């Protein structure tokens, strides 16, 4: 039986499931496809398009060097090139590793091809969807911390005689230092675009469809060799001091000590276990600070696997959930960065230039603003999916709809991640050069994060009072007069309009 393999753009690894079924490269035909209709679904960041398409082209060359026969198509859709390729090569069975994103599974299921389609279990995660569902079965709350501990035991990561090294599972409290004084942050490891990438940059710049962001410089790696260099650089240079300031935000600092590995792992150029084991080995060999190593491993073994598991575990209506009934449109400044709120301006400008911002910038500034301002969770999720170089449906549904916007009513998060300007002022230097005053609650100079925060709490008090962790905060509303609360509400409505 003649076999063909279709490799999707986020499955670029020689040990991916479909390639593992092949014992001899000469026995199969391989196809990769760049589809213009697919990228019209959202207003994607130019840097993301360059990153994925260049990585796909580099992977196609790597496969050819391994002896595979590879067809590479740049076309409008998936149906027509697949149909022609199947007929031309007399393919009887098409092997595809199951996609991570549910909408793309629908795309595959709707194909009309003159051959059998065989979907293979995805092997880019440490937990399969079935294993996660078994873990989740009969649990009242699907807490990430419980899942993370189970993963540590299961893979024997940072363990000693069935107990966590250091006597604690979680050192998060040591990883929240505000950025005081001068921080000597290491430079990120970037790359010069080669000829393949330069061609893709020209292609993306010539697109006549709506896109987002800029390609003033394209500095991301685009193959496994680059990705392994970034991993080694992080382990050697950034991981030793990663922990303490991982929540800090500083003007002009695009990356701080962050790993910058998520784009590579999310398209298959790196595998989760090799990243985790590299960090654990560095801990033992170099006596690194446990809060740094554990904090990083928790992001990969904990949050990443947990978010993927939840995504495939929830009901089909999850993307449309809207517990707070927020429906305001996304402000235009999310696309332009033009706002007098310095924190948002700084982060959005960086996103426009790089397609990247670290997790606290995403959660406690961008998502926080969307939540307290009453922005539609679906509009905000679409923006996140469009804007970030590491974003996919499985990444952003849970991170935005669930964690960031609490639109699932608490399935994923134990409380809404809402905060006033006080948090941003504590964890960043953004407030120093801002038009607004972080200390003011109302008035022309009042920081919008302040009156939006208190208006959010007041609007949703009846719902929030049943979230146990919120009652202490809600009691502060009793200290405000009805007149002040009305002024706060009016100011909140005016700034969104």
Identify the pLDDT of residue 496. Answer: 78
User: Quick one: tokens of 151?
Assistant: 């993963």
Only one residue has tokens 């916007």, namely 405
311 close to 339: Cβ distance less than 8 angstroms: no
In 333-396, which ranges are continuous DSSP H helix?
Answer: 333-336, 342-354, 359-360, 368-373, 377-387, 393-396
User: Quick one: tokens of 398?
Assistant: 């849970």
Report the C-alpha gap between 206 and 196 in whole angstroms: 16
Quote the pTM value: 0.96
Report the C-alpha gap between 7 and 56 in whole angstroms: 9
User: Quick one: tokens of 360?
Assistant: 């606290």
- Whats the size of the chain, residue-wise? 497
C-alpha closest to that of 282 among 155, 154, 149, 158: 158
> Across-strand partners of 15?
none
Identify the pLDDT of residue 468. Answer: 64
Residues of the chain where predicted confidence (pLDDT) is lower than 50: none
194 close to 26: Cβ distance less than 8 angstroms: no
| E strands in 65-217 | 69-75, 93-97, 116-120, 159-160, 163-164
387 close to 45: Cβ distance less than 8 angstroms: yes
Residues in CB range of 249: below 8 A, 6 or more apart: 179, 343, 347, 358, 360, 361, 365, 424, 427, 428, 429, 430
SS3 41: coil
Report the C-alpha gap between 405 and 141 in whole angstroms: 18
**Which strand (E) or helix (H) includes residue 28?**
strand 28-35
Residues in CB range of 123: below 8 A, 6 or more apart: 15, 16, 17, 20, 97
Please report the domains of the chain, with CATH numbers, ordered by start residue: 3-120 (3.40.50.620), 129-313 (1.25.40.80), 319-495 (1.10.579.10)
14 close to 356: Cβ distance less than 8 angstroms: no
Report the C-alpha gap between 378 and 384 in whole angstroms: 10
Only one residue has tokens 């921080």, namely 183
Identify the pLDDT of residue 260. Answer: 96
CA-CA distances (angstroms) from residue 466 to 405, 414, 462, 469?
A: 17, 11, 8, 9
Q: How many CB atoms lie within 10 A of CB 284?
A: 11
First to last CA, the chain: 62
Burial of 440 (0-12, 13-18, 19+ CB in 10 A): middle
Burial of 5 (0-12, 13-18, 19+ CB in 10 A): buried
∠ at Cα 107 (106, 111), nearest 5°? 115
């Amino acid at each position: 039986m003649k076999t063909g393999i279709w490799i999707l753009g986020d499955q670029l690894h020689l040990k991916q499931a479909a390639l593992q079924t092949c014992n001899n490269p000469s026995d199969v035909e391989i196809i990769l496809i760049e589809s213009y209709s697919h990228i019209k679904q959202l207003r994607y960041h130019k840097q993301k398009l360059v990153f994925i398409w260049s990585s796909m082209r580099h992977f196609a060359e790597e496969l050819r060097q391994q002896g595979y026969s590879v067809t590479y198509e740049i076309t409008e859709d998936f149906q027509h090139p697949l149909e022609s390729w199947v007929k031309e090569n007399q393919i009887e069975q098409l092997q595809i590793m199951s996609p991570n994103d549910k909408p793309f599974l629908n795309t595959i299921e709707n194909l009309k091809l003159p051959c059998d389609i065989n979907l293979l279990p995805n092997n880019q995660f440490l937990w399969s969807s079935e294993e996660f569902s078994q873990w989740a079965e009969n649990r009242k709350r699907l807490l990430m911390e419980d899942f993370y501990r189970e993963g540590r035991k299961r893979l024997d990561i940072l363990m000693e005689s069935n107990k966590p090294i250091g006597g604690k599972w979680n050192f998060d409290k040591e990883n929240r230092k505000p950025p005081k004084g001068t921080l000597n942050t290491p430079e990120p490891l970037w790359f010069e675009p080669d000829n393949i990438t330069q061609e893709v940059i020209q292609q993306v710049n010539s697109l006549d469809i709506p896109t987002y962001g800029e390609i003033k410089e394209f500095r991301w790696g685009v193959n496994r060799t680059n990705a392994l260099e970034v991993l080694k650089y992080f382990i050697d240079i950034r991981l030793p001091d990663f922990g303490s300031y991982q929540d800090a935000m500083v003007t002009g600092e695009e990356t701080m000590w962050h790993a910058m590995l998520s784009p590579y792992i999310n398209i298959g150029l790196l595998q989760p276990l090799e990243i985790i084991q590299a960090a654990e080995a560095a801990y033992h060999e170099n006596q690194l600070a446990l809060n740094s190593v554990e904090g990083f491993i928790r992001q990969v073994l904990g949050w990443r696997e947990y978010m993927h598991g939840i995504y495939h575990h929830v009901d089909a209506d999850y993307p449309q959930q809207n517990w707070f009934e927020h429906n305001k449109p996304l402000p235009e400044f999310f696309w332009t960065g033009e706002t007098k709120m310095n924190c948002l301006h700084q982060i959005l400008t960086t996103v426009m230039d790089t397609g990247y911002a670290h997790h606290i910038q995403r959660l406690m500034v961008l998502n926080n603003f969307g939540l307290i301002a009453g922005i539609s969770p679906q509009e905000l999720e679409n923006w996140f999916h469009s804007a970030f170089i590491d974003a996919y449906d499985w990444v952003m549904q849970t991170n935005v709809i669930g964690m960031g916007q609490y639109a699932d009513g608490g399935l994923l998060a134990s409380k809404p991640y809402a905060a006033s300007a006080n948090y941003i002022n504590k964890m960043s230097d953004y407030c120093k050069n801002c038009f607004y005053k972080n200390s003011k609650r109302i008035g022309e100079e009042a920081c919008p994060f302040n009156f939006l925060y208190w208006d959010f709490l007041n609007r949703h008090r009846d719902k929030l009072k049943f979230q146990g962790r919120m009652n202490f905060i809600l009691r502060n509303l009793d200290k405000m007069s009805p007149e002040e609360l009305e002024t706060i509400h009016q100011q909140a409505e005016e700034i969104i309009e």
